[in-house]
Amino acid sequence: MVRTAVARIIRRAWLPLGSGALLGIAVDLTVSTAGCVYHDTCIKVTSAGHDWCRNLALAKQWPAGGSFEDATSILRPDGGSPRGCLCYNDAEQEIFGAMLPECRYEGFLDDLEQAARQECEVLAMPGYDHNCWITSGEQASIVEDQYPLGAGSCIGNCEYGAPPAGGSCPDPNPYECATGGYDADACESEGDAETDADDSADTTDGDTTGGVMLDFDGLVSCDGPTCEIDEVFARSLYADPSPLLGQRTRLVYDTKTKRHVVQGVEPDSLAHALGLRNGDRLESVGGITIHDLDSALQAHAQLGHETTLHVRVKRGTQWLDLSYLFVP
């Protein structure tokens, strides 16, 4: 199977969301690798990824302001406990098998716990308190051990090919075709990087969201459902969304509705500034329904040079139409 040169496939089914991701949202959602829209020689998908999950036991909800004694269980539609899943490529699968390097393995487990707790929050009834984020005491919910769920919704491995006749391929994306396995020195290296980041944060006036430096003051202005976004800022994040990878806002693919659900929106986050809220279900971008990777690639190819994006989401039972204008 061959993929388009413009596609920048991200390895996870959970992705950061910001103005750059909204500009490239149609492709930055990693869903099913089945089917092809464009024929190119830049990227060939050779295997699907691997889904890993963790369940959240003893998840409870009760009327706001009420007593925990009146709590009822939070369950998935099929009656199971809240479940958070992430998709990992072949190189990451090696880390799960060897549990090395330790920092990466523990990071994966933390990510899965975060996914399970966020899913719990989404499943809780509106107007109810819940224990999705309570980790100790008599009211705590308990995250269970990780387990594989089978073939995942991301790319496990792929190959780079030659540029098409008369064309070119984009520079390799660090999240594409990952086959490098684990690095024994990765933990120490990451520790040094975190130290450097902390030092630099002490001397920078920008805002931080989810541990990532992202200063968008003066770059985003919203009036109701319409937002103006600095075009240079938006397109820089579209070209390189890596500054968003540490933010907590995620799009979670719901296999039942075949749509993506917004989770992890915090009050000071870029997603919140753009009018998105936890539980919003993404329906379409630029009039193109986003239900799988092919539709995402199609939207990416058609909308990459637009200066206005119309995004439709469903919030509860209400449809919302959001407009994002990219201004010089």
Please give the structure tokens belonging to residue 157: 């491995």
Q: Encode pLDDT of 252-261 as tens digits.
A: 777 778 888 8
The reported pLDDT for the residue numbered 304 is 73
Residue 201, domain member (yes or no): no
Residue 156, domain member (yes or no): yes
Residue 16, domain member (yes or no): yes
The residues near 117 (Cβ < 8 Å, ≥ 6 apart) are 56, 82, 84, 132, 133, 141, 143
Pairing, β 128-130 against β 212-213: unpaired
- Percent of the chain past pLDDT 70, that is, above it, reads 65
Is the pLDDT at 171 greater than 80, yes or no?
no
CB of 254 closer than 8 Å to CB of 260? yes
The reported pLDDT for the residue numbered 55 is 97
The reported pLDDT for the residue numbered 217 is 75
Residue 199, domain member (yes or no): no
Structural domain for 234, as ranges: 2-188+206-327
Residue 63 β-bridge partners:
128
The reported pLDDT for the residue numbered 211 is 34
Residue 193, domain member (yes or no): no
The reported pLDDT for the residue numbered 23 is 37
The reported pLDDT for the residue numbered 31 is 33
Q: Encode pLDDT of 52-66 as tens digits.
A: 999 999 999 999 989
Q: Provide the CA 320 distance to its chain's centre, in angstroms.
A: 21
Q: Encode pLDDT of 289-319 as tens digits.
A: 988 766 766 777 777 788 898 999 999 889 9
Residue 149, domain member (yes or no): yes
The reported pLDDT for the residue numbered 99 is 79
- Average pLDDT for 152-163: 73
**Confidence class for position 1, pLDDT limits 50, 70, 90:** very low
Residue 45, domain member (yes or no): yes
Residue 200, domain member (yes or no): no
CA distances from 91 to 143, 149, 177, 241 (A): 25, 17, 9, 21
Q: Encode pLDDT of 98-120 as tens digits.
A: 877 888 888 889 989 999 998 99
Count of domains forming the chain: 1
- Percent of the chain past pLDDT 90, that is, above it, reads 27
The reported pLDDT for the residue numbered 247 is 61
The reported pLDDT for the residue numbered 250 is 72
The reported pLDDT for the residue numbered 188 is 58
The reported pLDDT for the residue numbered 225 is 92
Is the pLDDT at 185 greater than 60, yes or no?
no
Q: Where do runs of H (alpha helix) occur along the chain?
A: 19-23, 25-28, 90-98, 102-123, 186-201, 231-239, 270-273, 293-303
- Average pLDDT for 170-175: 56
